[in-house]
Structures are given as C-alpha cells and as structure tokens.
Amino acid sequence: MPTKKPFLKAYLTPEEYAQVADLAARAGLSKSELTRRCCLGREIPSRVDQRAVLALLKANADLGRLGGLLKQRLAETPGEAELRPLLSSIETAKRELATGMKEVIRQLLTRDKI
C-alpha cells in the first residue's frame, strides 16, 4: 500500500550515493533515516565510537580480573615478592585506562552535532 507521506528526492553521483550508504551503515541507520537526521540537524550515532567504548570497558574489566587473581595469589602465598610490582603496574594501567575512558566519553558527549 503506497504511503501518503511527503518525501524528498535528490540526485547523487555514484560516489556520493556510495558515501551516503557507507555513512548509514556505519551509523546503523537506513539511508532515509541518515538523510532525515542530517537535514534536520539531529545527532548521527557512530557505531565506531560505541565499539571503542565497549573495547575500553572490556580491557578495564580484564585488568580488574587479573588484578583480583594476583591479589588472591599474594594472599595465599605472601612470600612471592616478584608479583607485587606486577600488581602495582596493573593497578596503574587500570587507573590510566579509567581516565582515558572518562575522556573519550566526555568528548563523545560534548562533540559538535551534525
């Protein structure tokens, strides 16, 4: 059944069409929804940004688990001093990662909208 909604028509070169299709795929939107959001000045999400944040969260969780295992090992065998510097470096990396995650999220939330 045909729709009665108004629509816009635009002519694109094959390169422009490919670019629009690529942008829509990267944002997880249809070409129509991408065009609508661009024309109306609405935010266009980026799956790349979402994947980057998820990768940072996973790395942070992995560091936390590794640190927990090392702490458990040290509690069982307190004489193994060679593990303490490793635990310290894991905790430092975890703090740096958390700082980086906060900065990435801040930039994502404050960047200019299209």
**What tens digit of pLDDT does each residue of 43-102 get?**
887 776 677 778 888 888 888 888 888 788 777 776 667 777 877 888 888 888 888 878
Does the predicted model carry a pTM greater than 0.75?
Answer: no
Say whether pLDDT at 114 is over 60.
no
Which of 50-57's residues contact partners 24+ apart within 8 Å by CB, and which partners?
52/104, 53/101, 53/104, 53/105, 53/108, 56/97, 56/100, 56/101, 56/104, 57/101
Written in H, E and C, the secondary structure of 52-78 is HHHHHHHHHHHHHHHHHHHHHHHHHCC
- pLDDT per residue over 53-62, tens digit each? 788 888 888 8
Residue holding tokens 């999400």? 45
